[in-house]
Amino acid sequence: MKWLVGILINAVLFIALGGFFGDSFYLSGFGAAVIASVVLSILNILVRPILIILTLPITFLTLGLFLFVINAVTLLITDGIMGSSFELAGFGTAFIVSIIMSIANIIIQSTFAKD
């Protein structure tokens, strides 16, 4: 259940960020946002741990800030998988979107997760 809620939260964040960034971040609709959120979730499960292990020394040297770069790379992979329904203008946009999504997810999880 938490996974589905996370998917919907990320989809809403994608819609909001798509409206905020305008031409730099294109999203064809809510269905594309949900599918992109599912793809991103699967990439976070399968690819992200491998990237973290491969870049562990630089992540350690940057005190964890390199994780934003890894998040941006997974967003760019999602962009490549989704085709024309989910478009990011480049790495800079993906990097900024990854930072905003990370901060928003931390705020949302700390607000609603009362385990």
pLDDT attached to residue 6: 86
**Residues with Cβ within 8 Å of residue 77, at least 6 apart in sequence:** 43, 47
CA neighbours within 13 Å on the CB side: how many for 65? 4
Q: Nearest Cα to 82, choosing from 48, 38, 115, 47?
A: 38
pLDDT attached to residue 114: 65
Contact by Cβ (8 Å): 39, 78: yes
Which helix (H) or strand (E) segment is 26 a member of?
Answer: strand 25-27
pLDDT attached to residue 1: 78
pLDDT attached to residue 70: 96
Residues 54-113 pLDDT 10s: 999 999 999 999 999 999 999 999 999 998 999 999 999 999 999 999 999 999 888 876
Which helix (H) or strand (E) segment is 86 a member of?
Answer: strand 86-88
The partner residues of 86 in beta bridges, in order of sequence, read: 27
| Confidence class for position 115, pLDDT limits 50, 70, 90 | low
pLDDT attached to residue 26: 92
Backbone φ and ψ of 69, nearest 5°: -65, -40
Q: Has residue 46 got a pLDDT over 90?
A: yes
Separation in Å, CA 104 to CA 13, 68, 98: 8, 14, 10
